[in-house]
């Protein structure tokens, strides 16, 4: 409901990454001389949607950290090698891309076969 209220029409974004960038969930680029350097997230764009996605992702990370999650899943592998907050932002980014795909194609959510968690 919040996304429908605060976000513009999904047709304004060519790709899911553009929507994630609008939300401020992708790393800033500090590239020069052919070297690509990625920094922190930009935190630009609509902060209410970004905050909701991050809170949801933090909840998933918290519970998966407690029960261990499915071994070998994307989330378990990320939690094994990255800090929890970084994993939560990456998961929020994935969720934003899924939201873009659902809204731009006017589809309902389908549980993926190889789920993230």
What is the structure's pLDDT at 109? 82
Per-residue pLDDT of the chain (117 residues; tens, 9 = 90+): 567 667 767 778 888 888 888 888 887 665 667 766 555 666 666 778 888 999 999 999 998 877 766 777 888 889 989 999 999 999 999 999 988 888 888 888 887 765 555
C-alpha dihedral over 72, 29, 37, 24, to 10 degrees?
-30
pTM over 0.85: no
Distance CA 1, CA 48 (A): 12
The sign of the torsion formed by the CA atoms of 68, 75, 115, 92 equals positive
What is the structure's pLDDT at 5? 64
Q: Which residues of 83-102 are buried (b: 16+ CB within 10 A; e: fewer)?
A: eeeebbbbbbbbbbbebbee
């Amino acid at each position: 409901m919040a996304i429908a209220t605060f976000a513009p029409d999904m047709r304004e974004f060519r790709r899911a990454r553009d929507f994630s960038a609008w939300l401020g969930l992708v790393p800033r680029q500090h590239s020069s001389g052919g070297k690509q350097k990625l920094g922190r997230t930009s935190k630009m764009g609509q902060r209410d949607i970004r905050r909701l996605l991050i809170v949801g992702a933090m909840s998933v990370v918290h519970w998966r950290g407690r029960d261990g999650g499915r071994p070998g899943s994307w989330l378990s592998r990320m939690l094994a090698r990255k800090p929890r907050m970084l994993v939560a932002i990456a998961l929020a980014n994935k969720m934003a891309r899924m939201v873009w795909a659902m809204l731009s194609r006017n589809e309902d959510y389908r549980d993926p076969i190889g789920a993230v968690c």
